Every structure is written in structure tokens, then in C-alpha cells.
């Protein structure tokens, strides 16, 4: 974490808004709670959720040296920061040359689900792959029946097939935990069958929503747990809200029926819905504004600071350049969001 000198900002009221805040105590709690259930190599934190090598180092300090990424830029940034002990691009690419350029400084593995993506790995100079298997989410992944053939083809081309990967993303936000557990078991039955055909040491799957009930995976690809959001909070997971977007009230309607703050769509990931606010209801969000309806009996004035709690942390992080680490209202450090872009 970058420290904040006495000459720099020390209180949140001095920050230009909108600003991304991370509560240090909640962050530490989330790291500890995940590590208790998924220690060491049983967790492969997903960098896409926080996009910061400084924050990744904090996870290394907690015993997590394996990471997965969603973009080639994330892989490059992690390798450049000396965090390339074991990096997985949990995504298919058609041009792997930038990944191949990293193999001398980091352990690089890429997901493949077809002959085309396999050829891309070979032509790009990548030496290790996981076979990505469709376990129910209509996204990437080969069919179970094709997994063994694809693994054989990879080995024929001189690649090390480390195992399989499958993402039960369609089950992440189920609030009925019994039904969710049954759904995860069914998805993992598919992945285990593929693993029997493919071989290798790795069964990579899961995420924040299934971190504690996926009993088949050798490693869990969780990331959102670190900062948390209101969408995952509905599942009842044991993680605290750690990230908010700090805004200021810039306009108060003359009737007092609503107020407007200076952060909106350009500061928030909105694919999971509106943010929430303590003491008010979100009316709507626009490009640079969010309109709030204060709770009955509360008074708001221009200049008041407001923390918006995002519904989806991953795309919210990607809209900012830094996270200000806070203890209450005091800024105690900063994480650069240095893994942005593609």
C-alpha cells in the first residue's frame, strides 16, 4: 500500500469527488475470512475484481500466491510487478503472443476451449493450458465429451495440460443455499467427468458466491469477496462492504424531496442495478449525477459527503485510477488501480 505523507490528503473531506474508498478494517476482515476457508493454493484470487498489484501483494502476504486474470493487460501487469509465481488467464484469446512474451519471467497458463484457441496458445508461445469446460453458464467452454480430445491435441503439440476449468457463474447469486449447493454439485459433476478425461492436477472453478459450497474444485477463483458489493450481499456471505464511491451533495431540491450528488454512471458499475445509500433511497443515476430521496426526518445540505455502495465492484473499480484506503474518515493509504485496460 502507498502511504500518505503528512503533506498529502489525510481526511476524506479533502478528496476530489467522486472518489473510490476502501475501508481498511473491512478489507482485512474479508481477507481473513476467505483465507480461513480457502487457505493458500486452494484460492486463486481473481485480479479482475480489484485490478491493483498493490492489493494483490496484500493477498500474497495472506498466503495466496496463485492468481487468475481476465485480460492480457492484467497478466502483463502482475508479471511486471513480480507477482508471476502462477498466473492463469481464465479467458480465451485468439492472439496469445503477448502472453508468450511473459513465459521467461512468470508461469503463464491460458484457458482453451477449441482447436482455434489451442492453436493461438501454440502460435503465441504459451506452454501451459487448462481445458475450459461448459458447466452450465452459456459463455465459454467446450462440451465435456470434447475435453479429452482437446487435451490430447494440446499434448500432441507439446503443451502441458494442467487440468480443467469450469465456471458455475449462473449460480453465484442464488439466495437459496440448498438449491445453490445442489446446482453447484451438478455443475461440478460435469467438470469432474471432464477432468477424468483430461487429467492434470488442477480443477479450477467457483467464485465468491460459491466459495464455501464448491467441494470439487482444487482452487476457487474468487475476487469480489475482497471489496464486496450489494449484489453479493443479498446471498448472505460472511464478507463486509469494503468499497464505496464517495460523492458530495451538489444540489438540494427546494421542496427537500430529493438531493443530487456528483457521481453517477461514469463512476459506478451499473449492470447489477443501482447503488445503495445509507439514509436515502436512490431515485435514479445519470452520467455524472445520482438523485437520492432522503429518509423521512433526515436533512441534507450542499457539500455533505455521501458514500454510494456499488452493486457490482468489478466494473466500478475499472472506472477509477486509485483507491483511497480509509479508517473511518481518515485516509491512511492508497492503492493504484494499475491493471486497468486490456
Can you tell me the mean pLDDT for 293-313? 94
Percent of the chain with pLDDT over 90: 93
Q: How many residues belong to the chain?
A: 342
pLDDT higher at 4 or 217: 217
Can you tell me the mean pLDDT for 61-70? 98
* Residue 234 neighbours by CB under 8 Å, 6+ apart: 173, 175
Q: Residues 205, 166: contact at Cβ < 8 Å? A: yes
CATH class of 2-20+239-336: mainly beta
Can you tell me the mean pLDDT for 109-133? 98
Q: From its phi and psi, is residue 282 left (phi > 0), alpha (psi between -120 and 50) or beta?
A: beta
Going by pLDDT thresholds of 50, 70 and 90, the confidence category of residue 6 is: very low
The radius of gyration of the chain from alpha carbons, rounded to an integer in Å, stands at 21
DSSP bridge partners of 220: 43, 205
Going by pLDDT thresholds of 50, 70 and 90, the confidence category of residue 2 is: low
The chain-wide mean pLDDT, for the chain, equals 96
pLDDT higher at 50 or 7: 50
Taking the CA atoms of residue 229, residue 235, residue 238 and residue 241 in that order, the dihedral angle to the nearest 10 degrees is 20
Going by pLDDT thresholds of 50, 70 and 90, the confidence category of residue 317 is: very high
DSSP bridge partners of 219: 204
* Residue 309 neighbours by CB under 8 Å, 6+ apart: 229, 230, 241, 243, 244, 275, 276, 277, 278
Provide the pLDDT for residue 9.
Answer: 72
The SS3 of residue 65 is coil
Q: Residues 8, 311: contact at Cβ < 8 Å? A: no
Q: Residues 203, 191: contact at Cβ < 8 Å? A: yes
Percent of the chain with pLDDT over 70: 98
Examine the pLDDT at 297 and tell me if it is beyond 90.
Answer: no
Provide the pLDDT for residue 299.
Answer: 87
Provide the pLDDT for residue 1.
Answer: 59
Examine the pLDDT at 126 and tell me if it is beyond 70.
Answer: yes
pLDDT higher at 280 or 234: 280
What are the structural domain ranges in the chain?
Answer: 2-20+239-336, 39-221
Provide the pLDDT for residue 43.
Answer: 98
Q: What is the CATH number of domain 39-221?
A: 3.20.20.10
Cis amide prior to 277 (ω within 30 degrees): no
Lowest mean pLDDT among 64-73, 185-194, 252-261: 252-261
Say how far apart CA 20 and CA 267 lie, in whole Å.
Answer: 9
Say how far apart CA 112 and CA 89 lie, in whole Å.
Answer: 10
For the stretch 167-216, pLDDT in tens is 999 999 999 999 999 999 999 999 999 999 999 999 999 999 999 999 99
Can you tell me the mean pLDDT for 117-132? 98
Provide the pLDDT for residue 145.
Answer: 98
Provide the pLDDT for residue 4.
Answer: 52
Can you tell me the mean pLDDT for 215-229? 97
Examine the pLDDT at 7 and tell me if it is beyond 90.
Answer: no
Amino acid at each position: 500500500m502507498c502511504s500518505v505523507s503528512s503533506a498529502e490528503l489525510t481526511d476524506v473531506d479533502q478528496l476530489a469527488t467522486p472518489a473510490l474508498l476502501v475501508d481498511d478494517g473491512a478489507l482485512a476482515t474479508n481477507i481473513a475470512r476467505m483465507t480461513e476457508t480457502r487457505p493458500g493454493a486452494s484460492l486463486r484470487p481473481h485480479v479482475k475484481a480489484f485490478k491493483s498489484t498493490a492489493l494483490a501483494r496484500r493477498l500474497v502476504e495472506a498466503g495466496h500466491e496463485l492468481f487468475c486474470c481476465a485480460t492480457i493487460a492484467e497478466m502483463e501487469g502482475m508479471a511486471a510487478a513480480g507477482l508471476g509465481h502462477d498466473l492463469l488467464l481464465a479467458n480465451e484469446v485468439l492472439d496469445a503472443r503477448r502472453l508468450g512474451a511473459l513465459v521467461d519471467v512468470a508461469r503463464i497458463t491460458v484457458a482453451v476451449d477449441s482447436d482455434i484457441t489451442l492453436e493461438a496458445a501454440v502460435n503465441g508461445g504459451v506452454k501451459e493450458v487448462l481445458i475450459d469446460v461448459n458447466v452450465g453458464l452459456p459463455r465459454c467452454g467446450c462440451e465435456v465429451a470434447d475435453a479429452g480430445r482437446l487435451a490430447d491435441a494440446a499434448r500432441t503439440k507439446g503443451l502441458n495440460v494442467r487440468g480443467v476449468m469450469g465456471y458455475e457463474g449462473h449460480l453465484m447469486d442464488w439466495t437459496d443455499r440448498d438449491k445453490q449447493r445442489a446446482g453447484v454439485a451438478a455443475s461440478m459433476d460435469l467438470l469432474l467427468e471432464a477432468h477424468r478425461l483430461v487429467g492434470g492436477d488442477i480443477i479450477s472453478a467457483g467464485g465468491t458466491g460459491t466459495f464455501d459450497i464448491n467441494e470439487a474444485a482444487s482452487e476457487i477463483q474468487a475476487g469480489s469477496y475482497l471489496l464486496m458489493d450489494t449484489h453479493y450481499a443479498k446471498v448472505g456471505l460472511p464478507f463486509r462492504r469494503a468499497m464505496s464511491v464517495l460523492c458530495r451533495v451538489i444540489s438540494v431540491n427546494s421542496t427537500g424531496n430529493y438531493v443530487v450528488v456528483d457521481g453517477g454512471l461514469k463512476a459506478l458499475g451499473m449492470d447489477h442495478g443501482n447503488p445503495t445509500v445509507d439514509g436515502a433511497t436512490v431515485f435514479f443515476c445519470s452520467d455524472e449525477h445520482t438523485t437520492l430521496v432522503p429518509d423521512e426526518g433526515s436533512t441534507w445540505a450542499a457539500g455533505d459527503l455521501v458514500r454510494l455502495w456499488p452493486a457490482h465492484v468489478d466494473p466500478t473499480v475499472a472506472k477509477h485510477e486509485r483507491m483511497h484506503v480509509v479508517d473511518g474518515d481518515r485516509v491512511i493509504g492508497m492503492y493504484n488501480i494499475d491493471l486497468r485496460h486490456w
